[in-house]
Amino acid sequence: MVMVRAAFAAARSLKRDFGEVEHLQFTEKGPGDFVSNADIYAQKVIREHLLRARPDYGFLGEEGQPATGNGTHRWIVDPLDGTTNFMHGLPHFAISIALEHQGEIAAGLVLNPATDELFWAEKGAGAFLETPSSIRSRRLRVAGRRTLQNALIATGIPYPAKGRHDEYLRTLQSAMAGTSGVRRFGAAALDLAFVAAARFDGFWELDLSPWDVAAGILLVKEAGGAVSDLAGAPYQLGGPSILASNFELHEPLSKLLSNA
How confident is the model at residue 32, as a pLDDT? 36
CATH fold label, 148-259: D-Maltodextrin-Binding Protein; domain 2 (3.40.190)
DSSP string, 80-142: EETHHHHHTT-S--EEEEEEEETTEEEEEEEEETTTTEEEEEETTTEEEEE-TT-SSPEEP--
- Which of helix, strand or coil describes residue 181? strand
Q: Where are the domains of the chain?
A: 1-139, 148-259
On whether 116 is known to bind a ligand per the annotation, the reply is no
**212 among the known binding-site residues?**
yes
pLDDT in tens, 211-234: 999 999 999 999 999 999 999 999
Given CA atoms 234, 200, 10, 135 in this order, what sign does their dihedral have?
Answer: negative
pLDDT higher at 260 or 192: 192
Rg of the chain on CA atoms, in Å: 17
- Residue 256, annotated ligand binder? no
Beta strands of 131-220 (E only): which ranges? 138-139, 152-155, 181-183, 202-206
191 known member of a binding site: no
Q: What is the pLDDT of residues 11-51, one digit of tens each?
A: 999 998 887 765 554 555 543 344 578 889 999 999 999 99
Q: What is the pLDDT of residues 53-76, one digit of tens each?
A: 999 999 999 887 888 888 899 999
The pLDDT score that the predictor gives to residue 24 is: 52
Pairwise CA distance, residues 197 & 200, whole Å: 8
At residue 30, the pLDDT reads 42
Give the angle subtended at the CA of 43 by the CAs of 38 and 44, to the nearest 5°: 95
What is the structure's pLDDT at 22?
Answer: 53
User: What is the pTM for the complete model shown?
Assistant: 0.92
Query: Is residue 222 a known part of a binding site?
Result: no
| Homologous superfamily of domain range 1-139 | Fructose-1,6-Bisphosphatase, subunit A, domain 1 (3.30.540.10)
Tens of pLDDT, residues 89-129? 889 999 999 999 999 999 999 999 999 999 999 999 999 99
pLDDT tens for 142-158 read 999 999 999 999 999 87
Measure the CA angle with vertex 130, ends 189 and 179; round to 5°.
45
- Say whether pLDDT at 180 is over 90: yes
> In the prediction, which pLDDT does 164 show?
75
CA dist 156 and 138 (Å) reads 27
Q: How far apart are CA 214 and CA 240, in angstroms?
A: 14
